[in-house]
Every structure is written in structure tokens, then in C-alpha cells.
Structure 1
Amino acid sequence: MVAFEGVTKHFGEGETAFTALDGVDMAVGRGAITGIIGRSGAGKSTLIRLVNGLEKASSGRVTVDGTEVGGLSDTGLRGLRREVGMIFQHFNLLSSRTAFDNIALPLEIAGLDRAAIAAKVGPLLDLVGLGDKAERYPSELSGGQKQRVGIARALATSPKLLLSDEATSALDPETTQSILALLKRINAELGLTVLLITHEMEVVKTIATDVAVIDRGRIVEQGRTFDIFTAPKHETTRSLLASTLGTSLPEWLRGGLKAEAAAGDRILVRLTFFGATAFQPLTARLVAEIGTDVNILAGAIEEIAGEPFGTLVVAYPAAPEVLARADRFYAETGLATEVLGYVA
């Protein structure tokens, strides 16, 4: 649905020049929910603004459903924007208009008459769960309700692509989950492609089928959300996900970790359960294999893009014969492991 090919974007000139995007290559699959994650200033917002022509690439190509955005006239851009809906962090509703009239605005601009607008807006209000709030003004709505109006407005022109610019970062966790569930349902029922940018890893983990990681204007890692979250390869990705996967060690334990083992030390290993290993009783089998002197220090069960994923941090003696039995067990079962270090 969307393709970035060698896209670069510069702002300013001379000594004040700044490169926001640097040779971006990325594809957004049709019907997918693709998340773009990165730190503040990494280039996320610039990237998404290129899709609907709010910014123009300095070089390279951005195409939406086969149409090159940079080559469109003003008339062509207006046509593109009817096919690309957008929802915003701070809702961007008009305070003088009711929920109904905010949703109706793009249809009025498109020239529809009042009857056609009513026939379109009513079902949209029902879709986002606001059928009884049509005549309410933004000041009378909660943050979640305002965002639902924003989503309905973005869907008014029946777009094929929905852009989300930090759409949940101004909401509380419970409201965020309800908005994500709505976006997921819209994606499934309408077959709408969704491209979202966020700094909230939980958002991507919950809703995105695919993810791209951007750092200093470059895409450093991309792929299926489950694959990226369970086996991040780039240091930026690992840093962004460090607090997300639920097995961080307490400070007193981290402070005592050593890179090399001494006599009598214990090894700390992170075990990762997914795919074929997700539902097997491997912890009990590990204890049976290497002995009962095993401590469980941290653990979590997650769901990433709808797939089960679990992690467990265990400690056991770093004696050569114990390590050999453990390594043999890991090889036989296909259990993914990572040595975190050694403690006295």
C-alpha cells in the first residue's frame, strides 16, 4: 500500500541544515497494521507526513497504492488525501462543531449534500460507539470519546489507508486499550491499512502486525512484530524494548552481575518460550535434568501481535558438569537462551 524508496528529507540550508530522513527504504503491506517506533526526533513524524504530502521528500520516492506522492499537483494531492485518513495525538476537533458536524466536515468539503452526509455520519458514529453523542460538543466529551470522533472523521471519505500520529499518547491506559481494540476491529472489518507512529511499545505489541524501527532518520530494523520483539538485532531496538518484555532484573542483582565465572558462582540465563516451546512444561524438565538447585528470579507471559511469548530468568550452579547438562537440554528442546552473567 505504501512504499518508501531511498527517501531523504532535509530541512534548512547551510550550517542550519538538518537531515530528518536518510535513505529510507520500507514497504507497508496492504491490509496490515504497521507500527513505526523510535525515540523523539528520530524522524517518525516526518516519515508519516510524507505519505499524505504534508511534507515533500528531498530525494527518493514515496508511493501510495502505486501513485507517487511527490509528483502530484494540488488537485492530485486533494484526491490522495480523501483516500488517506489521519488521526492525531490531540484530536484536532473544531470546538464550535458537534461530534456529528466534526465528522461531516470532510464530506462537506467534498461537496456532498446534507442527506448523503447524514447517511454516512450516522453509521460512523455507531461504528465508533458514539451513536448517542452526535449532538455533543468536544468540551462535553472525554479524551477517548474525542479520539473516537477523530477516528470517525478520518473514515468519513472511505479511505484505503489510515495514518495514526501518536493517537493514544494523550490517553490513559484503559482508554488506550479501547481505542486500540477499535482500530483493530476497523482494520479487520474494513480491510483498512493502518500506519501508526508511536513511542509506546505496548501499543505496537498489542496492535501491529509489522514494525519498523527508526533511528536518526534511518530504518535500522523491520519485520513481523513478533520476530522483532522476541529477537531484536539492533541496539536501538533492544534499548527501546528493554522495559517492555517484563523480565528486567532488580538493581541489586544487576549490580552484582559479572561477565566471567569464578569458583562457586551461579549462572543467570534468560529462557524464551514461543512457537513450539510456548506450551511445553520445559521448566520442570530443566530442573529434572540439572538438579533441583535452580532459582527462578523473574518471569513474564506476554502476547505479542496475538502470539504467545514467555520469558523466565533462572540461576543455577556454573559448575562445568551442570552447564554441560543444561546446554544439552537446550539443544534437544530448541529452547532459546541468553546468558545474562554470573553472580556469587
Structure 2
Amino acid sequence: MVSFENVTKSFNSRETGRKAFRALDNISYSVPRGAITGIIGRSGAGKSTLVRLVNGLERPSEGRVIVDGTDVAALDEVALRSVRRSIGMIFQHFNLLSSRTVYDNVAMPLEIAGVAKQDIKKRIEPLIDLVGLSERTRHYPAQLSGGQKQRVGIARALASEPKLLLSDEATSALDPETTQQILGLLKTINRDLGLTVLLITHEMEVVKAVTSRVAVMDKGQIVESGRTFNVFTAPEHETTRSMLAALPGGSLPDWIGRQVIAAPKPGSNALLRLRFFGETADQPLVSQLMTVLESPVNIIAGTVDEIAGEPYGTLYVAYSADPAVMQKADQFYAQTGLNAEVVGYVA
């Protein structure tokens, strides 16, 4: 649906006029049709610049941006307006007109396009119902909550019947409960309308909850990408690992982290991170491990969650660092497929 081909974007220095800042550096990446794909990175990573290339608000310094078979950067303004009608956009701060009602805000793109009033009504009323605002049709933005305003923004983005929906930090200004409601709505839209969604965010929780594929950005480059589940369960790049550590259960509690040493000492315990997914997700492997080791296993911390709809769990455990015990444990992990990583040692 969207393809970035060797895309570089540089911005000129205001003082010298020379290209002083490279926001995107030779990016090649494809967004599959019909999926929800996440682009995640810290502030300044280049994600918002990337999404602005898709709808032609920015043009690449080098490379091509292909949207549904069309090279967006090669279009003149007239042709670009036509392409933009097939691309919906949801903003972080809603961008609603305070003087227009819910209905009128949603209808605005169609009015600008010159669609007849009776046709606007036929298209807008089902959309307002879809986002759950049928009882708020005549309300103004000042009368709505943040979540309701974002629902208006989503309905407006869908008014022109786009093939692609861009979401740029659409949940960043919302509380956690409202964020989950909006993400649920995006999943419904993706499923029921078959709409391709490109979601830009700095929140790992958002990516985990709603996307099927993800690309991680750092310093203008995509440093890791793939199925969301694979990237979350086996991160390869330091940026990904660092961002995942912010998730609940993603890192050791501080009280135990302060005690961790790099090498074992006489009588110390090994501290391991166990990851449960796939066939290991619903097996009583910890109780089996205790039996196999014939040694106490101390459960330090853990969490059970879903990533892109698939079960996933992390558990921190400690047991004797005696070589014989460690060997038994390694054999157990090899036989069961349980993912285990020694993260250090504790007294």
C-alpha cells in the first residue's frame, strides 16, 4: 500500500540556507495493504516527517514514496489533492473547528470537495454512528471530552472514503482508558472497512495493543522491523530493548536491580528472565522446573499480557548458581523450548 524507496529528507539551515539536518536517512520500508502498521520512536526520531511524506505535506530530498502505486513526490498540486482524498489523517490535537457542530466538522471535507448536501448526509450519518456519537451530532467541540473529539476526528478522516488512514500520535493527549477505546475503534475500522492504517506513536503500549507489524525508528533510520509479536519478544536493536523496558514487567524492579552483580560468587543465585509465548504460553513450566532442579526457585517479578492478540509472559526467577543446577536448567530449557536469559547474579 505504501512503499518508501531509499528515502532521505534533509532540511535547510535558516542561517546558511544549506541542508544542515537530515531527518530521514535512506529509508526503505513497505506498509502492507489492509494491516495496522506502527511506526515507533522517540521524539526527534523522524516518524512525523515520514508520515508527512505520505500525504505530500513534505517531499523527499532523495528517493520515492509510493502510495497505492503512485509516486506522491512526482505529482503537481492538482494531482496531489486528488491523492489526498484517498488518505485520511487523524491528528494528536484533534484540529476541530470550534464554531462547527460534530456533524459539520465531519462533513467539512465533503463540503470542500463540492459534494451535494443530500449525499453528504447519506455518508456522514453512518460514520457518526460508527464512532459512537449519534447522540452528539449537534454538539460543539467545547461540549465534548477528549475521547469524543478524537472520535469526531476519526469520522472526519473517513468521510472521503480513504484507502489509507494515517494516525500521528492520535492517542498521546488522551488518558489510558480513553486511549484503549480509541484503539479499539481503530481495530474495528480496520477489520470492518478493510482500511490500511499507518500509526505513528512513541508509546509501546499503543503498538502492542493494536498493530500487526511495527518499524522502530532512531535518528532518522528504521533500525528494526517485522511482526509486532516477533519484535517485542525478541528485540535485536538497543533502541527497541530500551523502549520495551518501559512496559510493565519489561525490566527488573529497582529493589532487586540494585543487588545484581555481573559474575557469580560462592553461594549466589542466578537471576533469569523467562519468556513465555507460543507453545510455552499455557504450560506449567515453572512448577516443572522446580521439580527438575530439585532446588528452590524464587519468583521475583512477572507479568502476563497480549502482544498483537497473542499471549506473552515474562517472569524473573532466581535459583542456585551451582554449576550442576545450572546444567539441569539448561537441559530443561532446551527440551521445552522455554526462552531463558541469565541477566545477572544476586547474593
TM-score scaled by length of structure 1 = 0.98
Q: Tell me, yes or no, if the aligned pair for 1:257 and 1:343 is still in contact at 8 Å.
A: yes
Contact 1:128 1:148 in 2 (8 A): yes
Can you give the 5+ residue segments of structure 2 that lack an aligned partner in the other structure?
Answer: none
User: Which residue number corresponds to residue 184 of structure 2?
Assistant: 181
1:170 to 170, 173, 186: 173
2:64 to 61, 65, 68: 61
The aligned counterpart of 1:10 is 10
Matching of residue 327 in structure 1 with residue 314 in structure 2: no
Identity fraction in percent: 64
Cα-to-partner distance string for 1:289-327 (whole Å, 9 max, x where unaligned): 002411000110010000000111110000011011101
- Name which of 225, 236, 241 aligns with 2:239: 236
What is the one-letter code of the residue matched to 2:223?
A: V
Q: Give, in whole Å, the separation in 2 of the partners of 1:16 and 1:195.
A: 28
In 1, distance between residues paired with 2:285 and 2:222?
36
Counterpart code for 2:101: T
1:95 to 98, 102, 116: 98
Shift in Å, 1:172:
0.6
Q: Does 1:220 align with 2:220?
A: no
* RMSD (CA atoms): 1.0
- Aligned to 2:283, the other structure's residue is in SS state coil
Q: Which runs of 5+ in 1 are unaligned?
A: none
Say yes or no: does 1:305 pair with 2:308: yes
- Measured in 2, the distance between the counterparts of 1:252 and 1:174 equals 29
> Residues 314 and 81 (structure 1 numbering): CA distance in 2 closer, same or farther, change over 3 Å?
same
Identify the residue that residue 77 of structure 2 maps to in structure 1. 74
Q: CA deviation at 1:252?
A: 2.7
Contact 1:11 1:19 in 2 (8 A): yes
Structure 1 residue runs of 4 or more that deviate by more than 6 Å after TM superposition: none
Q: In structure 1, which of residues 36, 41, 45 is the aligned counterpart of residue 39 of structure 2? A: 36
Aligned mates of 2:208, 2:250 — CA distance in 1: 16
Does the alignment pair 1:111 with 2:124? no
Cα 1:247–1:48 shift into 2, 3 Å: closer
SS of 1:89's equivalent in the other structure is coil
Query: Secondary structure of 1:341's partner?
Result: strand
Contact map agreement 2:253 2:301 (CA 8 A) in 1 = no
Residue identity matched to 2:35: A
Q: Aligned partner of 2:234: which letter?
A: A
- Give the letter aligned to residue 5 of structure 1: E
- What are the superposed Cα offsets for residues 168-220 of structure 1, whole Å, 9 maximum, x if unpaired? 00001111110000000000000000001111111100000000000000000
Q: Is the Cα contact below 8 Å between 1:247 and 1:313 reproduced in 2?
A: no
Instruction: State the one-letter code of the partner of 1:331.
Output: A
Q: Distance in 1 between matches of 2:42 and 2:19?
A: 22
Tell me the CA shift for residue 331 of structure 1: 0.6
Q: 2:95 is matched by which residue type in structure 1?
A: N
Question: 8 Å contact 1:100–1:134 — kept in the other structure?
Answer: yes
Task: Tell me the TM-score normalized by structure 2.
Answer: 0.98
Q: 1: distance between equivalents of 2:256 and 2:123?
A: 59
Label 1:25 to 1:245 Cα distance change in 2 as closer, same or farther (>3 A).
Answer: farther
SS in 1 for 2:49: helix
Residues 247-277 of structure 1: per-residue CA shift (max 9 Å, x gap): 4222232122111111111000111110011
The answer to whether the Cα contact below 8 Å between 2:295 and 2:320 also exists between their aligned partners in 1 is: no
Cα separation, partners in 2 of 1:168 and 1:219, compared to 1, 3 Å: same
| Alignment partner, residue 345 of structure 2 | 342
Q: Secondary structure at the match of 2:148?
A: helix
Alpha-carbon separation, structure 1, partners of 2:206 and 2:73: 30
Taking the aligned partners of 1:116 and 1:251, their CA distance within structure 2 comes to 59
Alpha carbons 1:248, 1:298 under 8 Å: kept? no
Structure 1 match to 2:148: 145
Match of 1:279, SS state, is: coil
Contact 1:51 1:62 in 2 (8 A): yes
Distance in structure 2 (CA, Å) of the matches to 1:219 and 1:202: 19
CA distance in 2, matches of 1:186, 1:251: 40
